[in-house]
Structure 1
Amino acid sequence: MAIIAQLSDIHLAAGRDGEVDDGSGPVRALRAAVSSLLALPARPDAVVLTGDLTDGGRPAEYARLHALLSPLPMAVYPMAGNHDDRDALRAAFADHPAVAETGSSPQAPVQYAVNVAGVRLVCCDTTVEGHPHGHMGEDRLAWLDDTLGAAPDVPTVVATHHPPFPIGIRFIDDMGLDDSSAFAAVIARHPQVVRVTSGHVHRGSVGSLAGRVSTTCPSTYRQLFLDLTRPGRAAVTGEPAGFAVHLVGDDGSATTHFVPTGSYRPLMDVE
């Protein structure tokens, strides 16, 4: 069984005078997420970062991110979100073979596939430069179709930043994946896809896409207020930050857990 942790919507800003840890909210939150992840009894085989890794896409922010993630002993797979800059992300993770192979052009999407403990993780780029919404387009959808077609018998997790299913929070749905129907049509052709998981929403949610379970991940920093009314209020809350953990079996079974960050020790044994 593969264990894949998911951190999302970290929103790191540049530190004062180049400091890695200046005690700011996003820094404290990421350090707590990393500590909580390392405290799990079964450590994940890999960590996927589903976008909005920084707040402004500046090189100093990615350098800070790289340093704060350094305690993680497992492979870390970064993806771009609408707050990210592809060039700066690639430069910061130049030591990452999968990222480096995505190319050097500013317009080249940061998308790749890797193997994690017998499971395939396919990282998609849904970003549109200068815009908050997501879009794959013909070229990226063709890449996804070809990539999935290359390993039809391997259980696969597909990761995006923008969720391809409706969340119910108006302003998030207004800046979701605008070609989600075309994306779903690709997923429908590949039954080995056992989970589609995304960021962008700043809270955990579960939906359906082409008959597959599709999830979003809590933010390591701030959670969005759950207002399902129309037009609704765009606001953040004091709800606990968190992350997701996906368990994927060799038989194609898949389970997702949402984990609040913090130190939560067993209170008592129940067996």
Structure 2
Amino acid sequence: MTRLFHVSDVHFGREDRAAIAWLDDLVHKEQPDAVIMTGDLTLQARRSEFANGLAWLQGLGVPVTVEVGNHDLPYFNLFERFFRPYRRFLSVEKMIETPLELAGVTIVPMVTTARFQWRLNWSKGYVSQGELAKTLALVRAARPGTRVFIACHHPLIEPHTRTSAQTHRGAEALQALAEAGVEAVLTGHVHDPFDIAHDVGGHQVRLIGAGTLSERTRDTPPSFNEIRIAPDGFSVKVRALTPAPDVRLPVEHVD
């Protein structure tokens, strides 16, 4: 069995320090096979936030792959946003948008952030044709016989959460990924967990969202997802920083 810790939206600058310490302890005690970080490592893409966030990632001691969230792109410094948006990630470049092969599963990155959009709210999701093509090529190159999961920041289809993603070309991307045999898309952005199975042209794809480890919670306390992958399927458990027991996340089915 392969175990993933799926974390998102840590927002260093507004991180929940108790939640970070809790996750650190769990990672070091339980040694998951990998940590999948689906974006918004920082709050405002400041140097200090990246320094703290990247030090945290490097200290986990297990394989890590990191997606870029909308909060990780410089917002006020337009020169950096357009010409050097990922400069502050360079110290952990090998973690960023990098495919990760594990026993029974391959994690493939897909960029859903944009330096510029023809709408006022640049925080929302966007899947360009070029990025989708890159992702599909990585899906096709995945080791035969393994499940393929996509990791990106924005939900491709709107979940029933308080926050929306409004991802442009998300439905088109989901259709293409389903046809390519992808079984799950791991995301963040909305700060609440979900597990929604979509039937897309006869292919089932589960859209799985993680909560937040920041102070910017919505309807769920600080949390992350534990995903267990076995030969006969996979399950998602929400692990929250509460006295209540962890809960296996029920799969919502949408045709």
Give the TM-score normalised by the residue count of structure 1. 0.74
SS at match of 2:20: helix
Q: Deviations over 1:129-158 (max 9, x none)?
A: 261111111100111111111225321111
Alignment of 1:111-260 (within 5 A): 111-129=97-115, 131-151=122-142, 152-169=144-161, 172-173=163-164, 175-191=165-181, 193-209=182-198, 210=200, 211-221=204-214, 222-225=216-219, 239-249=220-230, 251=231, 253-260=233-240
Structure 2 letter corresponding to 1:139: G
Q: CA deviation at 1:67?
A: 2.1
Q: 1:166 to 1:264 in 2, by over 3 A?
A: closer
- Runs (5+) with no aligned partner, structure 1: 14-23, 100-110, 226-238, 267-271
SS at match of 2:71: coil
Structure 2 letter corresponding to 1:160: C
Q: CA deviation at 1:240?
A: 2.1
**Percent of pairs identical after alignment?**
23
SS at match of 1:127: coil
SS at match of 2:69: coil
Look up the match of 2:37: 49
Q: CA deviation at 1:126?
A: 0.5
Moved more, 182-191 or 47-56: 182-191
Look up the match of 2:81: none
Q: Deviations over 1:69-116 (max 9, x none)?
A: 34422111111001003424422314x3x53xxxxxxxxxxx331212
Does the 8 A contact of 1:155 with 1:252 survive in 2?
no
* Matches of 1:205 and 1:179, distance apart in 2: 21
Q: CA deviation at 1:166?
A: 1.6
Give the TM-score normalised by the residue count of structure 2. 0.79
What is the Cα-based RMSD across aligned positions, in Å? 2.4
Structure 2 letter corresponding to 1:202: H
Does the 8 A contact of 2:6 with 2:36 survive in 1?
yes
Does the 8 A contact of 1:9 with 1:219 survive in 2?
yes
Q: 1:207 to 1:39 in 2, by over 3 A?
A: same
Q: Deviations over 1:206-263 (max 9, x none)?
A: 21333222111011123214xxxxxxxxxxxxx42110111122x3611111101368
Q: 1:89 to 1:80 in 2, by over 3 A?
A: farther
* Matches of 2:245 and 2:71, distance apart in 1: 35
SS at match of 2:183: strand
SS at match of 2:72: coil
Structure 2 letter corresponding to 1:258: V
Q: CA deviation at 1:264?
A: 7.8
* Matches of 2:178 and 2:104, distance apart in 1: 22
SS at match of 1:128: coil
Question: Highest CA radius of gyration, 1 or 2?
Answer: 1
Tell me the number of residue pairs that the alignment of Structure 1 and Structure 2 aligns.
224
Does the 8 A contact of 1:3 with 1:45 survive in 2?
yes
Does the 8 A contact of 2:104 with 2:145 survive in 1?
no
Look up the match of 1:80: 68
Does the 8 A contact of 2:65 with 2:99 survive in 1?
no
